[in-house]
Chains A and B, each alone.
Chain A
């Protein structure tokens, strides 16, 4: 009997015109993505033809950037509302999973459970919910002006929310939930999900977030720059599962990866530099400023070095990292701004299909990932490149399956069906 080799899961992370801050300025980027449903259906077909496990939509119920001048130089202020987007894609695809983000702070469990159950029915059991608690003041102002709730309160609400949604999806016959944040009398009025219940996804990296994920998530998206960070997160989260009576295989951990791929390494580097050149200086400097928590970086010459900043007391590790890198590599403000604006805190891999496959394989086999959430830098070009260059390489190595194996998203991901 042959033991079947463990294979990685791959998701496509959709975002605006692409994950790179200047994606929309790329000459071939589909700049009208945010108002063109056919574009998204084409992307879904590309992902499905490449046999990817799922499409993932992030979301926020508000603008991304408070500074309107900066916002107007990015493509992220407009786009589709993800549940309607995925419902449209659901009946135009057959096998790929459809995961949407929705906030526990600005929804009610009954309505959210019902909407995702409907998406699940429309797609024949391919829906997933990425639970977020929303930590953004711009969103909060669209839902009453009382301001953002404290972190712990948000998670307490999220825990109750997730638990009651699971009961609604589970077909509880009499609900009568009367909790701290919510009260719900009736069971859901829709048929039971074809996959038992939609897949639960989470991405929180805080202690509360990891705990909630260990308790309820089927899939966890994460952000990790280095192998060590990725492995530490993976080990930490898998280690929490036993507390809740779960096994390591019950949760798939999928860090984000932003690949830039070409036939040759120099071509890939050129492609990346081409995008970096398109970052408007004030956008880059604004993002760098927010990383460094200083407001007047624009006062300094952009081709000069980073100014002396106040003592690093209280500075977070990422800020310290920026300063350290600027000194070590002798980078100007412009160079540093481009470096950080382009990467968006995620893991970027630039190279040939084999080089990228090597990197993914190392993390997959090294106990740092069960798969990856792929973040193309611009659409459709970088998705096409990943689908036609990297996926076949992974398949050749036996790291990724050659065809869909399950009907539902749960089957595809090898997840247990909830009772």
Chain B
């Protein structure tokens, strides 16, 4: 299997090399000007241009048949599944009013820790707490999830994987809305957005490899 993977990488590198060469030759062929009287006129060098186009077409076939990380295992999905579990737990905890237990916990200010442990937050305190809890979700956790989207789209296809990534993006927007409402001091809107995000997350299932989007 390792030999197959190495060959695929070599083919891809060859394709990328041909892509560069084809682009340069194609541009050179298309860019030629010639002196005509006192003016420079466009006279493309068609043989050179055709060679460039041919190389580009060959490169396109090679690169598409051997995509980056092609034939990979389920690492991308496993990683996404783990972060998704973490995200679900975090949002559920936020709805219940529990402090997050994320890897980024070290960033939580001491004042917030005291606030969370006081167990009697008033509206403003709750909103401040919520905003500070959402910061690591929006800044750390979701970006990590979206970083893995390329692998996911490659693994499951642009349609099936796209449905999942699009759902995640909706969760991101709803959490951003909760953050904005918290900063604006509007607790009902923040809670409503959190509830919507949680609902969206509940309905969000990782697509099966090569299969149809969940729920279809």
Asked if A pairs with B, the answer is no
A-contacting residues of B (Cβ < 8 Å)? none
B-contacting residues of A (Cβ < 8 Å)? none
